[in-house]
Amino acid sequence: MGAIEVVLGDITRENVDAIVTAANESLLGGGGVDGAVHRAAGPRLAEAGAALAPCLPGRAVATPAFDLAPVRYVIHTVGPVWEGGDHGEDEVLARCYVNSLLVAEELGVESIAFPAIATGVYGFPLDRAAVVAADAVRSTPSTVGEIRLVAFDRETHDALRDALARPIGVRRGEEPPVDRQPG
């Protein structure tokens, strides 16, 4: 596990080896963070994405970052569409983070920036997504030395910060299990 940092800002301004985008299965570009990444990287990003599509939820694929240089790679991952929480959404979201880190590692990436995948149009509740993100990056052994979780707004920033401050698996507003002493 690398150093994990929460930052507030526009992910397209991050000076890292790889930026992760919350794509849709077509990899042609969408709204939200994916729209911003495609605008910043230029039209070659959609061409490169189309050649690798479709990308199923939870998977991750890399393309060059084109006009985002010195960023080297865009890692496209597709989050789960929120359907109430009983449809494997947590597992799919965790796989987005884990698989993105695996792809980054294969490419020799030393620093990576993630957006808050699935918490926008895909509707994943923020606090729950923050815990999934924090736990996934903390529990994945990785050679990527620097991991930035980039929040576009203060609420997301605080949710991620709080999730990282808690033991793995504990949601905001919940108490960690109490260690009971016998007697």
Catalytic residues: 34
Q: Which of 2, 29, 57, 115 binds ligand ADP (CB under 6 A)?
A: 115
Looking at 97, 119, 131, 148, which residue binds ligand ADP (CB under 6 A)? 119
Distance (Å, whole) CA 101 – CA 148: 12
What span, in angstroms and rounded, lies between the C-alpha atoms of 175 and 37?
37
- Alpha carbons 96 and 122: distance in angstroms, whole number: 14
- For the window 7-46, what string marks contact with ligand ADP as x by the rule CB under 6 A? ---xxx---------x---------xxx-x----------
Q: Are 62 and 75 in contact (CB under 8 A)?
A: yes
Which residue's CB is nearer to ligand ADP, number 34 or number 135?
Answer: 34
Tokens, residue 123: 């509707």
Residues 122-181 that bind ligand ADP (CB under 6 A): 122, 150, 152-153, 156
Phi, psi of 144 (to 5 degrees): -70, 115
Confirm or reject binding of residue 62 to ligand ADP (CB under 6 A): no
